[in-house]
Structure 1
Amino acid sequence: MTDDTSDSAVRVEPVPGEPAATAAAGGDRLLLVADYHAGYEAGLRSGRGVDVPSRAPDRRERLLALLERTNPDRLVVLGDLMHSIGDPGSAERGELEVLFESFPSTLSVTVVKGNHDGEIETWLVDGSEHGDGPGEVTVVPGDGIAIDGLGVCHGHTWPAREVLESDVVCLGHEHPCVRLEDEVGGSRVERAWLRGRADPVAFRDHDRYGDGVVPLWLEDDARSQPRLVVLPAFNDLVGGTWVNLSDQSFLAPFLPGALADGEAYLLDGTRLGPYDAI
């Protein structure tokens, strides 16, 4: 599954077998991940009384292996880097501090704030300040930013205009999954990618895009709509929206309406076809 357009150099390429993608934008090679949810196990213990051993080391090693495998200039986290909605607990903050100290100093990090990220910008600092971890660390609002034709946002709120003016829009928040059944009634749930055109009808009447600030493609159907790419959650414990079940509600306020001709893909690249017909 590769997202590109005939008139754009923007390419979003999933890393085979992984809930991550690479992209070339702004002169940099990017690694995109979404919904890391550091401290998730601590949240289960405090919120639900469920005692689950921490998988923080596994998450860290998987992400570090991806960085080594893809060699990006910048890591872009599409929201929910941490799990607690308010101030992080000691286990959660400790997990992120160890993670960031493990990053190479040549790596820049951009964190798009998700609905779980609280005031993360007040304590997530550049490694350059203390000699450990990545160089530049920036935290941007959840409605996202555009990086040379690539729009990135979290998905819990309506995207910024500049995001919708991009050629490709990548988001998280949804944790898309599909439930697959076999001939004898067995079933399993797999994380999935969603991909499709952005449907202008879903955005055109929203107040945010009125009063003369509407992206041009919303005004003219002949203009090329951006492609939407919904990333699977990096954290494999968090569950998500089973997109092929009719009784499941989507989390993003603009989904599923904004996803025209939406198709689902497994992490290994298997094309499942229209997500609502699986």
Structure 2
Amino acid sequence: MSLVEPVPGEPAAVADCGAERALVVADYHAGIEIGLRYERGVELPSDADARRERLCSLCDRTAPDRVVVLGDLVHRIGDPGRGERDEVGALLDALDARNVPLTLVPGNHDGGVADAYDERLDVADAGGLRLGDVGFVHGHTWPDRAVLGARTVCMGHEHPQVRLEDEVGGGRAEKAWLRGPLRLDPFADHFDVAPASLGWGRPELVVFPAFNDRSGGTWINVEGQSFLSPFLPEALDDDAEAYLLDGTRLGAYRRV
């Protein structure tokens, strides 16, 4: 059985970390509506309450020992503004009421989060976190070697999605999971070591869909689309597979 099992129909998974179980999500992007207003002039009502209720409902459904967010808990890059602070504060209150701590593996949007929430939030190093045999990274930087020693590595950042077309040319976007073995050589080159010295057993990478429904994503089956992470796609096996949220297996992501 896999150490990381997606929750059917949801952009979330439960990870077996040995001593505890974690509910894992990526790219929460609290306060995104404020960002869209200033970045693109798009006016949208806040979805903060619905995001919080979705995550809390998943906690009630899966009974985890902790929640792990794979980066970009907030949307604004740098110091969180009032909108982000209020939304994350309400989320932490709701999780505290359930005695479920939140651990953040910081992403490129989370620069001021640790200072903003003091001891209410457990913030890992930017290079990632390892709990038992599961590693957690955001994906915007190269992971620490200790994280790469895990059997399974979870990451966010990419917001993977696929474009599906019907027989008459219509199309729709669907969030997707991306799973497959990691290649050794790109990491050995990055760390400037002999491949054998990494001492790993070819971990599986699980790229999480974005939890936020308004954050866009990386098309993994559209010609010319590039990945955001510095180690993708070179470090991912060509036979890595894509899955829809409902569990539908799409096959090798390069041939979807």
Counting only pairs closer than 5 Å after superposition, residues 216-255 of structure 1 correspond to structure 2 as 216-217=199-200, 224-255=201-232
Per-residue deviation, residues 91-119 of structure 1 (Å, max 9, x unmatched): 11111111111113521221000000012
Query: Could you say which residue in structure 1 is the equivalent of 2:253?
Result: 275
Amino acid at match of 1:168: T
Q: Does 1:156 align with 2:140?
A: yes
What residue in structure 2 maps to residue 70 of structure 1? 62
- Asked whether the 8 Å contact 2:221–2:253 carries over to 1, the reply is yes
Please say if 1:118 is aligned against 2:101.
no
Q: Distance in 2 between matches of 1:32 and 1:241?
A: 20
**Residue of 97, 106, 130 corresponding to 2:99:** 106
Q: Does the alignment pair 1:189 with 2:189?
A: no
User: Structure 1 pair 209/269, CA: closer, same or farther in 2 (3 Å)?
Assistant: farther
Mind listing any 5+ residue stretches in structure 2 that lack a counterpart? none
Q: Distance in 2 between matches of 1:47 and 1:76?
A: 28
One-letter amino acid of the structure 2 residue matched with residue 107 of structure 1: V
Whole-Å separation in 2 of the counterparts to 1:91 and 1:216 = 44
Partner of 1:95: 87
> How far, CA to CA, are the matches of 2:109 and 2:192 in structure 1?
25
Q: CA deviation at 1:126?
A: 4.1
Mapped to 2, the partners of 1:154 and 1:276 lie a distance apart of: 22
Indicate whether 1:46 and 2:23 are aligned: no
The answer to whether residue 110 in structure 2 is matched with residue 141 in structure 1 is: no
Amino acid at match of 1:275: Y
> Post-superposition shift, 1:214?
4.7
Residues 209 and 61 of structure 1: CA distance in aligned 2, closer, same or farther (over 3 Å)? farther
Structure 2: distance between partners of 1:240 and 1:212: 32
Render the CA deviation track for 1:218-268: whole Å, top value 9, x for unaligned.
xxxxxx300000000000111110001120010011111111121000000
- Structure 1: give runs of 5+ residues left out of the alignment: 5-10, 128-136, 218-223
Q: State the TM-score, normalized to the length of structure 2.
A: 0.95
How many residues are aligned here? 254
By how many angstroms is 1:146 displaced? 1.1
Cα 1:49–1:214 change in 2 (3 A) is farther
Per the TM alignment, residue 202 of structure 1 is displaced from its structure 2 partner at its CA by: 2.2
Two-structure CA RMSD over aligned residues (Å): 1.6
Distance 1:214 1:145, change over 3 A: farther
The offset of 1:211, in angstroms, is 8.2
**Residue 18 in structure 1 maps to residue 10 in structure 2:** yes
CA contact (8 A) 2:130 2:150 kept: yes
Change (3 A) 1:112 1:185: same
Contact 1:161-1:213 within 8 A present in 2 as well: no
**Helix, strand or coil: the match of 1:72?**
coil
Q: What residue identity is the alignment partner of 1:106?
A: N
**CA shift at 1:125, angstroms?**
3.7
Q: Which amino acid aligns with 1:241?
A: T
Residues 212/256 of structure 1: CA separation in 2 closer, same or farther (3 Å cut) = closer
Matches of 2:114 and 2:139, distance apart in 1: 19
| Distance across 1 between alignment mates of 2:19 and 2:35 | 38
Give the corresponding residue for 1:81.
Answer: 73
3-state SS, counterpart of residue 240 of structure 2: strand
After TM superposition, give the deviation of residue 201 of structure 1 in Å.
2.3
Q: Is the 8 A contact 1:33 1:234 kept in 2?
A: yes
> Is residue 2:203 matched to residue 1:210?
no
Aligned equivalent of 2:48, options 53, 56, 71: 56
Distance 1:249 1:46 in 2: 26
Q: Structure 1 residues 213 and 158 mapped into 2: Cα distance closer, same or farther (>3 Å)? A: farther
